[in-house]
Structure 1
Amino acid sequence: MAALQKKSALGLMVMAIFFVSLNLRPAISSVGPVLEIIRTDLGLSNSQVSLLTSIPVFCMGLFAPLAVVFNRKFGMKRSVAFLIVVIGALTFVRGLAPTFAVLLASSFFIGLSIAIISPLISAMIKRNFPTKTTSLIGVYSFGLGLGATLSTGFTGVFYTWTDWPLALASWGALAVIALILWFRVNEPKSDGLEDDLTVGPGNSPWKNRRAWYMLVFFGLQSALFFSMITWLAPILIEKGMTVLAASAVLTVMTSVQLVGNLSIPALLAKFPSRLFWTMVSLLFGASGIGLLMMDQLVLAWPAAVCLGFTLGGLFPIALLMPLDENERADDVNSWTSMIQGGGYIISSIMPFSVGFFYDRFGSHDLTLVLFMSYIVLLALFAILLSKRKKALTT
């Protein structure tokens, strides 16, 4: 009976993790399909409007270390619940006061909230599912991908029914569902993330060479994701697509991403070569960017398929890295905070850079070159990570 209750509790926890993860992308990814409309309506430059993606991603990096502080002071359950409320409430506010200042402020605090939630969820997975981390990371990344897919696919549709402020605000409803499930999860006996059965000093990431490689890898794959989510539709609109058609291509990309979110963790469970699956994912990405460079609109559809598989595959691989490297949940929290903190700061530069260069040169040709350079750099760091070198200093 006790075993059945424990299994049921863990099943509820999986559902709660999934619905929490659904909330961690729509406030950012919903901006892409209506980016040009927001820019025109509010009289903004491309650099200014790109801040709506760059600021939350930067905050996701800057404030990730606060996950350790929040967990120790408030506990995981209360911390995540409060931050989900923040995300939902500020998303709703966008529909009530659709000004650039409100959009920027909400982006800042939403990014801060996501920054703290993400390491806590990774540590929760490591502590409660130590033998099934690959599968649970698949659930978590699938939730993130589904949130991005729904928001990119339906924001444009909602816009045709109402207007862009209400289209953005509608995604706050996801927070209500997540909270209902999250409050039913039983909080662990100890507020700390450390496994009571594990003793000894922690595994600090700050002087570990592999941790820094992981940080850069995470930042590069995240930069590719947020840049694609933000700028793929504007790139295609510049090439002659309508807003709805470009949104449909974006939806194809994020839908295929879901396949990668699920299939790569499943494949890793059976064939655990991280390097092989990373290179396969990057090969698809290089092919997709190459198709976009050909300036044929019909090629945008297979390009979206290739890019979707790349984004869906790289993210769970990046999430698994700190979990593979550590045994204790507390160490996972520390490593994830550092890797995602620095990684998101790196990735926040990319969407803004695209807008900056587009304002200066009036073309997205350089954008596609930048995307391809990220593929090359990701391959380089994947190779470095395949070599088992541990510490920067001894």
Structure 2
Amino acid sequence: MIKEFTKKDSVLLLIAIFAVAVNMRPAITSIGPMLEVIREQLSLSNVQVSMLTAIPVICMGIFATFAPYFNRKLGLKRTMYLMLSLIGLLTAIRGIVPSFIVLIGTAFLIGVALAVMGPLLSAMIKQNFPQRAASVIGVYSFGMGVGASASAGFTVLFYDRTSSYPFALGIWAVLALLGLLAWFFAMRVETVIYSVRQSPLTEKQEKSVSPWRIKKAWLFLLFFGLQSSAFFSIVTWLVPMAKSLGMTLLQAGMLLSVMTVVQIFLNLGFPLLMERFPARRFWVLLMLISGVLATLFIWTGVHSLMWIGAIVMGIPLGGLFPIALLLPLDETETADETNSWTAMMQTGGYIIGGLFPLVIALIHDWTGDHNYTFIIFLGFYIALMILTLLIGEKNEIQ
């Protein structure tokens, strides 16, 4: 039987969830601001350099089903130690060896580590905070937003000060050390280790209907995939697009930073709002309309409107991800079910999310025109509106 957490235990675990989550985006989002620099210094095409963000995202989809295997073999505690150490080591290598092969290899292995960590964290939240899942998902997505925001904004500043893109990418290994430290203190609490290791994730599982046979799970997969596509495409291509509209690299980097700062506050704020006012469809449609308006503002090329657009764009990017994470938590009863639904959703969703930045690169290499990129951004939000209407409120579709 799972023991009750003390207040201290819960706080330590929440800090650990936040610290781990901070490490789940910088290896990907630090590439976007450096896209043009890496392309020019290594003589790459747009497609080649886009692979640096596409590969880890696709790996997060393909290898998400490895999460239960690692949990059974190593347990949650050791799995997180291993994956955080891997992310830190590979990120540090980027700062030492300036090579496209190294960047591709580290992108692949980091993607595998992120794929294993994501579903396990969601299942842990479902089990240990069943009555406060929305709030804790907010902490989780807030941590991811902090990591994305810091790497998106400060990577350009590090490059501006050092003129070294390897240093600007490799410095984010420091976050892995902080994550390992926080995880160490959380895992010293015996009740935390007991409740995680004795969860349904590590026990013989009872037979249940596979989410791959459930219509609603497929809708969740598509929703997660399109919101991932929007996030990774925008984070990857906003800086090159802003530069093509007349901004300097530093201005474009700050534009991205402003967007992600708004995003991190909404990562935490939207789950809290939804917990108090649980009208899921209303909130999602509000975010999607904001995304359409933000895209149109940035598309104008008028710098003052582009700054407004960046602020407004933080609304959907900040709110859609935690809502997507909450969807399987709302529809499942146990940590095992949550893990299965989340693994399915992230398997297909991240594959979709990783492909679109490559599609944009192909189109841009072919046409040299970012107008098509803006059209794709609008397409993401319109398609998500249709999916939102199909999904409906909780338990509307069986």
CA–CA separation in structure 1 for the residues paired with 2:44 and 2:62: 26
**How far is 1:4 from its partner?**
9.8
C-alpha displacement of 1:367: 0.4
Alignment of 1:77-88 (within 5 A): 77-88=77-88
Q: Does residue 99 of the first structure (1) align with residue 99 of the second (2)?
A: yes
Task: Tell me the residue number matched to 1:166.
Answer: 167
Kindly indicate whether the alpha-carbon contact (under 8 Å) linking 1:127 and 1:195 is maintained by their aligned counterparts in 2: no
Conserved? CA contact 1:211–1:339, under 8 Å: yes
| Aligned counterparts of 1:95 and 1:161: Cα–Cα separation in 2 | 15
* Residue 176 in structure 1 maps to residue 177 in structure 2: yes
Matches within 5 A, 1:1-394: 6-162=6-162, 163-186=164-187, 187-189=193-195, 191=197, 193-194=199-200, 201-386=207-392, 388=395
**Deviation (angstroms), 1:298:** 2.0
Q: Per-residue deviation at 1:197?
A: 12
2: CA distance, partners of 1:20 / 1:249: 26
C-alpha spacing 1:4/1:193, structure 2 compared with 1 (3 Å) = closer
Q: CA deviation at 1:204?
A: 2.5
What letter is aligned with 1:286? V
Assess if the C-alpha contact under 8 Å between 1:126 and 1:328 holds in 2.
yes
| Residues 345 and 195 of structure 1, relative CA distance in 2, 3 Å threshold | closer
One-letter code of the match for 2:174?
A
Query: Is the Cα–Cα contact under 8 Å of residues 65 and 337 in structure 1 kept in the other structure?
Result: yes
How far off is 1:177 after superposition? 0.8
CA pair 82-39 structure 1, distance change in 2 beyond 3 A: same
Amino acid in the other structure paired with 1:169 = G
Deviation at 1:189, TM superposition (A): 4.8
Which piece of structure 1 moves more, 225-234 or 5-14? 5-14
The one-letter amino acid of 1:171's match is W
Structure 1 residue ranges (4+ consecutive) displaced by more than 6 angstroms after TM superposition: 195-199
- Tell me if the contact between 2:68 and 2:201 (Cα under 8 Å) persists in the aligned partners: no
3-state SS of the aligned residue for 1:11?
A: helix
Deviations 1:334-368 (A, max 9, x none): 11011011100011111111111110000100000
- Cα offsets for 1:147-172 (capped at 9, x unmatched): 00000110000001221101100000
* TM-fit CA distance, 1:179: 0.4
Could you say what secondary structure the match of 2:82 adopts?
helix
Measure, in 1, the Cα distance between the counterparts of 2:4 and 2:222. Answer: 42
Describe the superposition over 1:307-348 as per-residue Cα deviations: whole angstroms up to 9, x where unpaired. 111110111100000101111001111110110111000111
Structure 2: distance between partners of 1:41 and 1:264: 40
Percent of aligned pairs with the same amino acid: 45
CA distance in 2, matches of 1:382, 1:37: 38
The AA in structure 2 aligned to 1:355 is: A
**Residue range with higher mean Cα deviation, 7-16 or 197-206:** 197-206
Counterpart in the other structure of 2:190: none
Kindly state the Cα deviation for residue 184 of structure 1 after the two structures are TM-superposed: 2.1
Moved more, 217-226 or 378-387: 378-387
In 2, Cα distance between equivalents of 1:74 and 1:200: 21
Instruction: State the TM-score, normalizing by the size of structure 1.
Output: 0.95
Secondary structure of the 1:76 match is: helix
Label 1:327 to 1:94 Cα distance change in 2 as closer, same or farther (>3 A): same
Letter in 1 for 2:172: W
CA distance in 2, matches of 1:150, 1:385: 33
The whole-number CA distance in structure 2 between the counterparts of 1:199 and 1:111 is 27
SS in 1 for 2:173: helix
CA distance in 2, matches of 1:296, 1:194: 54
Amino acid at match of 1:22: V
Output the CA distance in 2 between the equivalents of 1:150 and 1:381. 31
CA separation of 1:190/1:227 partners in 2, compared to 1, >3 Å: closer, same or farther? closer
Q: Distance in 2 between matches of 1:357 and 1:5?
A: 52
Report the AA paired with residue 105 of structure 1: G
Q: Residue 247 of structure 2 aligns to a residue in which SS?
A: coil
